[in-house]
Amino acid sequence: MGGDQEKSIIEKFLEENVLFLGPDPAIMEDHRVVPTTPREQIALDNFSNPDEINLVRHKLQTACNESFDMVEQMGAAPGAKWGDLISGVWTANGDLALASMGGVLIFSVLTQHPVKFILKYWKDDPTVGLKDGDIFMHNDARYGNIHNTDQSLMIPVFHQGELICFTGAIVHEGENGAIEPGGMPSAAESPYDEGLKMSPIKVGENFEFKRDIMTFLQNSVREPKLQLEGMKSKFFAAMRMKARVEDAIAEYGVDAVLATMRKTLTDTEAEVRRRLRTWPDGKVRTNVFADGTLRENCLIRIRLEMEKLDDELILDFRGSSPEFLNRPNNTVLASLKGMLAQEFLSFVWPDLPRNQAVFAPMTVLTDKRSALHCSPEAPNAQSMMTFFPSFTCVQIGVPKYLYSAGHRATDIIAGWYNMIVTFLYGGVNQYGELVGNVCADLNGMGGAARWNRDGEHSLAPIFAPMADIGEQELIEEEIPLIKIVPHRLMRDAEGFGKFRGGHGYQQIATMKDSSMWGFMCCSIGSKFPTTYGIFGGYAPGTLPLCKVKGVNVFEVMENTRDLLRFTIPEIMNERPFKGATYSTHHMGLQLEFSKPGELYMITQGGGGGYGDVLERDPALVSKDYLDELISMRSARTVYHVVLDEKSGAVDVAATEQARKAERENRKRRGKPYREFLKEWETPEPPRTVPFYGSWKDKALIYRGTPDDTCPADAIVPIIMPNPKDVRIAALEAELATLRTQQR
Amino acid sequence: MSTKRVAITEYLEIDLEKERWHCRSCGHDIAAARANYKEGLLVYNRDPREVHHPVLDESYPFTYAPDPNWCRIIEFYCPTCGTMIENEYLPPGHPITHDIELDIDKLKARHLGAEGTSNATG
């Protein structure tokens, strides 16, 4: 037998005997649109009238929006109710051609992977197949999507036996049977702590769910009713879209639908390339430092070098932090791309159709096994902790291209607040049911300052331009989580600037009437801000988790109302409840069971500022002071505006004098660049701060100390010690010292 | 001779013919357009607590103010007018970011009319 023939037999054997169809890098690492197929070309040749294509596009777009509304109205998950979803139409090749205008637009660029997996592996597999009436689902982020708490459902649409498209929806469902309730376990130390792991799977045939699979899925999570209801609402939405596609086929013909989907993708990509050509060519660099893993504080460098070349944009994240093998803050590359696309879909070109072609002209470069391109062995339930900062890298860099680009589709904008400051919860509700999910007030992130005006307060999350924060009264009807103070804005939380960022609100939560109830939090940014200003504007400040334990505020409210305080600073600084314990922490809280009336307090973040604080209109500073957005101290020492403490009136002459003096102070204290560098720059990270990522040379990665490095092209993943072990070791060392001193 | 200047940020512009960065507030000649504009500015290492004041009693480990041992604000000022042109939040000792490095030849071609694309929209 010849060598070639032997090789061929071995290859054939291996192809036919794949042990496990894991995530396919060929699908997962390619975000480009599939080239036009011969069938699509025939459709384009037959149906080319732009006006008619526009009509069909609007019909399909309306179908997406309609089904979005259906899921939002029918869904039981808090995420569904408050808009944490999209619905869409995928081509017969698996590309997302159109998606709902509202909702979580990250999904627009990372829902194609499971559809492409179905087409590549299941369509022709005799044990699975693809036929009319099939229902597929998926939730494992390693096969697409953001994290396992999101569940997608897709159905194929056939016309006279020909596969035309897929319709479906993706929803942040919440509870998924992970090591912690609520679906986003910050305690996960491996992918197998993250709950349900649905690779793309057929869950129904003949337009009906298979009862055995449904039961298996329900049996795998803490909220079986939610699992059923979530699947049903997504399925009905997909069916409604399918009906609308069939209407369009009946009215305009099948070629019209095929041509419209294809042309929407190709036109979108062409328009993005046209707009990119108007940006100046060159490089823009940014750095963001994530300050923790949610289990411990450390500095995780996200390094970005953008290069714009004609009609392409290269996003080079090489030199960023290595992956953390036993922490869930790692990002699957496809999820990273989805989040980066959000910058262009929401903030730069919101007028473009929502589809994956928006990101097609971009190239993303990463180091393999970095925190932004993690391996399948690394957990990713809290990927937001690295992909949100990556988004911010892009967001604060893009204005340096856009400013000179001439006409723009949107405003120049600073860094939007970028963390999910809210409570996750788990336990038994007032009806005796086991529940676990997340509160929707994570959606109230503070808006960034713009080139011509201040940022809006608590406006929208960075990943969804239209999402609600929920009604507290409705939430209290379902779960025993009580907010004892309305959402009051936090003073001085803005990014200061010529135009300031919007503020975030305080969240003071407690529990009532439950035998078992726990809180979790999952944000970073307690030591180092997570988002930034631009063009001299400042970042917003940092944010702690505050707790008051050993008190039942419901008893206090009944008997000693004079002890009540209504802001976090008042509660924490005045310590009104005798015998209670007051403490502050970083915002990574793993499930902690609480007693009724104990307080857990966090603050939604503000947006970054724009421009020099000395250029802020003193009248606006006065207004912010009167509105209690800023303190007198900030007015005086940050903005250098002299106000009357009672009336807030601006002393114009004194302000001019103060600002002139500050400009002179700056010139006096500032040092020439070269001189400054000699004092400032160090050859390696400080020993006192655990630092992960490159320092000066992007090819050399630091692994927590200056002595521990690896090459960027051969990253050694990080394994962190258990924070409790670290704490025990510190206490034992302290004890040993005290014992030595006693002797 | 034309002194065509293109605004690149709120406070920075490039004189295309002289190939120089300038302050947009006062016109100060900062640096060569092909170099890092920060090299021509004054720089200050600021304790972040001066800007983001601790809101809570400083006996708490977290106070709403960045940790000055982890985070510093590096401020860049125009040497003539004192405008804060840019700032960076960096860990102590971290290399300064060369944030804008434009292709000056292409910028000149676009804005001085050689390629005539300056009216395109974006």
DSSP A671-691: EEHHHHHHHH--SS--TTS-E
- In a mutational test of the A interface, the residue from B16, B55, B72, B83 whose CB has the highest number of chain A CBs within 10 Å is B55
Task: Using CA coordinates, name the residue in chain B closest to A271.
Answer: B122
Question: Cβ separation of A541 and B52 shorter than 8 Å?
Answer: yes
Question: Cβ separation of B11 and A533 shorter than 8 Å?
Answer: no
Q: Is B115 an 8 Å CB contact of chain A?
A: no
How big is chain B by its Cα radius of gyration, in Å? 19
Contacts of B44 in chain A (CB under 8 A): 666, 669-671, 676
CA A24 to chain B, closest CA, distance in angstroms equals 36
Q: Is residue A182 within 8 Å of residue A425, measured between CB atoms?
A: yes
Q: Is B58 an 8 Å CB contact of chain A?
A: no
Nearest-CB residue to B55 (from A286, A532, A569): A569
Longest CA–CA separation in chain B, Å: 63
Task: Using CA coordinates, name the residue in chain B closest to A662.
Answer: B82
CA B1 to chain A, closest CA, distance in angstroms equals 22
Closest by Cα among A183, A150, A154 to A166: A154
Nearest-CB residue to B81 (from A537, A541, A663): A663
Q: Is B112 an 8 Å CB contact of chain A?
A: no
Question: Cβ separation of A279 and B65 shorter than 8 Å?
Answer: no
Q: In Å, how far from its chain's centre is CA A346?
A: 13
* Residue appearing with tokens 């072609």: A357
Domain count, chain B: 1
Rounded to whole angstroms, the Cα distance separating A372 from A332 reads 6
pLDDT value at residue B119: 40
Please count the residue pairs, one from chain A and one from chain B, whose beta carbons lie less than 8 angstroms apart: 250
Q: Is residue B105 part of a domain?
A: yes
Q: Which of residues 16-55 of B touch A (CB under 8 A)?
A: 38-45, 50-53, 55
Is residue A25 classed as helix, strand or coil in its secondary structure?
A: helix
Question: Cβ separation of A282 and B90 shorter than 8 Å?
Answer: no
Domain boundaries defined on chain A: 44-275, 278-410+689-743, 414-611, 615-670
Nearest-CB residue to A667 (from B52, B79, B118): B79
Question: Cβ separation of A451 and B121 shorter than 8 Å?
Answer: no
Nearest-CB residue to A681 (from B6, B51, B93): B93
What secondary structure does DSSP assign to A455-486, as a single string? PPSS---TT-SS-----HHHHHHHSSEEESS-
CA A248 to chain B, closest CA, distance in angstroms equals 33
Question: Cβ separation of B10 and A585 shorter than 8 Å?
Answer: no
* Residue appearing with tokens 């990250």: A106
Please, what sign has the CA dihedral across residues A723, A725, A728, A732?
A: negative
Closest by Cα among A309, A247, A305, A322 to A276: A309
Contacts of A583 in chain B (CB under 8 A): 60
Q: Is residue A88 within 8 Å of residue A64, measured between CB atoms?
A: yes
Task: Using CA coordinates, name the residue in chain B closest to A681.
Answer: B93
pLDDT value at residue A293: 98
Task: Identify residue A38 by its one-letter amino acid code.
Answer: P
Q: Is residue A436 within 8 Å of residue A593, measured between CB atoms?
A: no
Is residue A533 classed as helix, strand or coil in its secondary structure?
A: coil
Tokens of A665: 């102070």
Residues in chain A predicted with pLDDT less than 50, given as ranges, are 1
CA A606 to chain B, closest CA, distance in angstroms equals 12
Nearest-CB residue to B70 (from A528, A569, A671): A528
Q: How many CB atoms lie within 10 A of CB A628?
A: 13
* Residue appearing with tokens 């920060």: B38
Please provide residue A172's backbone torsions phi and psi, each rounded to the nearest 5 degrees.
-75, 95
Contacts of B71 in chain A (CB under 8 A): 289, 527-529
Count Cβ atoms within 10 A of the Cβ of residue A319 and give its class: 0-12 exposed, 13-18 middle, 19 or more buried.
buried
The residue among A14 and B6 whose pLDDT is bigger is B6
Question: Cβ separation of B51 and A408 shorter than 8 Å?
Answer: no
Q: How far is CA A432 from CA A342, A517, B108, in A?
A: 40, 11, 70
- Parallel, antiparallel, or unpaired: how do β-strands A297-309 and A691-694 relate? parallel
Q: Is B109 an 8 Å CB contact of chain A?
A: no
* Residue appearing with tokens 């490089």: A283
Question: Cβ separation of A541 and B64 shorter than 8 Å?
Answer: yes
CA A468 to chain B, closest CA, distance in angstroms equals 26
Question: Cβ separation of B97 and A287 shorter than 8 Å?
Answer: yes
Contacts of B102 in chain A (CB under 8 A): 280-283
pLDDT at B1 > cutoff 60: no
B120 falls in which pLDDT band (50, 70, 90)? very low
Rounded to whole angstroms, the Cα distance separating A688 from A743 reads 31
Q: How far is CA A696 from CA A129, A303, A358, A364, A561, in A?
A: 52, 11, 33, 21, 57
Question: Cβ separation of A680 and B96 shorter than 8 Å?
Answer: yes
Percent of chain A as helix, strand, coil, to the nearest 5: 35, 20, 45
* Residue appearing with tokens 């331009």: A465
B118 falls in which pLDDT band (50, 70, 90)? very low
Contacts of B42 in chain A (CB under 8 A): 666-667, 670-673
Rounded to whole angstroms, the Cα distance separating A117 from A128 reads 12
Contacts of A407 in chain B (CB under 8 A): 121-122
B117 falls in which pLDDT band (50, 70, 90)? very low
Longest CA–CA separation in chain A, Å: 97
Question: Cβ separation of A669 and B90 shorter than 8 Å?
Answer: no
Helices (H), A343-457: 384-397, 399-402
Q: What is the pLDDT of residues A281-294, one digit of tens each?
A: 999 999 999 999 99
CA B3 to chain A, closest CA, distance in angstroms equals 17
Rounded to whole angstroms, the Cα distance separating A100 from A105 reads 9
Is residue B32 classed as helix, strand or coil in its secondary structure?
A: strand
Nearest-CB residue to B82 (from A408, A666, A671): A666
CA B95 to chain A, closest CA, distance in angstroms equals 6
Angle (deg, nearest 10), helices A38-46 and A254-276: 100
Q: What is the pLDDT of residues B31-71, one digit of tens each?
A: 999 999 999 999 999 999 999 999 999 999 999 999 999 99
Question: Cβ separation of A284 and B101 shorter than 8 Å?
Answer: yes
CA B37 to chain A, closest CA, distance in angstroms equals 10
Q: How many CB atoms lie within 10 A of CB A682?
A: 14
- In a mutational test of the B interface, the residue from A302, A666, A696 whose CB has the highest number of chain B CBs within 10 Å is A666
Nearest-CB residue to A673 (from B38, B75, B103): B38
Task: Using CA coordinates, name the residue in chain B closest to A349.
Answer: B122
Count Cβ atoms within 10 A of the Cβ of residue A431 and give its class: 0-12 exposed, 13-18 middle, 19 or more buried.
exposed
Contacts of A539 in chain B (CB under 8 A): 52, 89
Rounded to whole angstroms, the Cα distance separating A169 from A66 reads 12
Task: Using CA coordinates, name the residue in chain A closest to B60.
Answer: A584
Q: How far is CA A156 from CA A39, A132, A166, A486, in A?
A: 17, 6, 4, 46
Q: What is the pLDDT of residues A167-213, one digit of tens each?
A: 999 999 999 999 999 999 999 999 999 999 999 999 999 999 999 99
Contacts of B4 in chain A (CB under 8 A): none
Q: Is residue B28 part of a domain?
A: yes
Nearest-CB residue to A400 (from B8, B65, B81): B8
Tokens of A686: 């400080």
Nearest-CB residue to A688 (from B38, B55, B69): B69
Q: Is residue A293 within 8 Å of residue A685, measured between CB atoms?
A: no
Alpha carbon distance, N-terminus to C-terminus of chain A: 83
Q: Which domain holds residue B100?
A: 5-111
Tokens of B122: 């974006």
Q: How far is CA B29 from CA B2, B12, B22, in A?
A: 16, 10, 5
Question: Cβ separation of B67 and A681 shorter than 8 Å?
Answer: no
pLDDT value at residue A2: 53
Question: Cβ separation of A673 and B41 shorter than 8 Å?
Answer: yes
Q: Is residue B122 part of a domain?
A: no
Question: Cβ separation of A408 and B122 shorter than 8 Å?
Answer: yes
Please provide residue A70's backbone torsions phi and psi, each rounded to the nearest 5 degrees.
-60, -50
Task: Categorise residue A462: left if φ over 0, alpha if ψ from -120 to 50, beta otherwise.
Answer: alpha
